[in-house]
Amino acid sequence: MKKSILFPMMILTISCCSTKSTTTMANGNEKTKIESPCPENGICTFEILQNKSMNVKTDGIGKTYYELVENPDKVVFLYKYREKIEDTTLQDAGYREEIVFEMNKDYSDFTFSNKELQNTKMLFGVFCFCKGKAGNYKVTEGSLTKKNSTLQIDLPKIVDNQIIRNVKISL
């Protein structure tokens, strides 16, 4: 009797212990999936925000940020990596990176590279308690390609210890 209970419990325990997670949210499109592996000890998400546009601004100290605004002709793509936090009581323990850009709503296959990336208002964001590193950076090197149903983002090193460099998504 003990053996018949022990084996299923072991299988259940092993299957519940995952160190990385991938989530895809694309306004109900179940075909959308993050194909690139999510880094260890992280949670990766992808969203397609319909009828949204990015309003990129600069604050009083020269830091770049964006606001999402309603725009029926645009769509915003948002990929996030978030480090899992063991001790949630620590206020400044989080680390997150994100890639965000916008396209016309009727987009089809495209390729942007280097300075052309700013045609999409692409930003790379780092959010952490890390002096001199946190904030949004305009992406002017790398590539962004959508061919058939695959979206590929390749970024160079933008900040020290950058985690996200290559992302592949099936749309």
Question: Is 47 among the domain residues?
Answer: yes
Question: Is 14 among the domain residues?
Answer: no
Question: Is 49 among the domain residues?
Answer: yes
Question: Is 28 among the domain residues?
Answer: yes
User: What pLDDT was estimated at residue 8?
Assistant: 41
The domain of 53 spans: 20-170
Look at the chain and report how many structural domains it folds into.
1
Please say whether the dihedral angle defined by the alpha carbons of residues 111, 113, 119 and 123, taken in this order, is positive or negative.
Answer: positive
Q: Are strands 42-58 and 64-83 parallel, antiparallel or unpaired?
A: antiparallel
Contact between 139 and 107 (Cβ < 8 Å): no
pLDDT digits (tens, 9 = 90+) for 59-72: 999 999 999 999 99
Question: Is 5 among the domain residues?
Answer: no
Question: Is 35 among the domain residues?
Answer: yes
Question: Is 4 among the domain residues?
Answer: no
User: What pLDDT was estimated at residue 25?
Assistant: 52
Question: Is 15 among the domain residues?
Answer: no
User: What pLDDT was estimated at residue 22?
Assistant: 53
User: What pLDDT was estimated at residue 18?
Assistant: 38
Please state, in angstroms and rounded to a whole number, the distance separating the CA atoms of residues 60 and 26.
Answer: 34
User: What pLDDT was estimated at residue 46?
Assistant: 97
Chunked mean pLDDT (size 10), the chain, 171 residues: 45 38 53 93 96 97 96 98 85 89 97 98 95 95 98 98 97 95
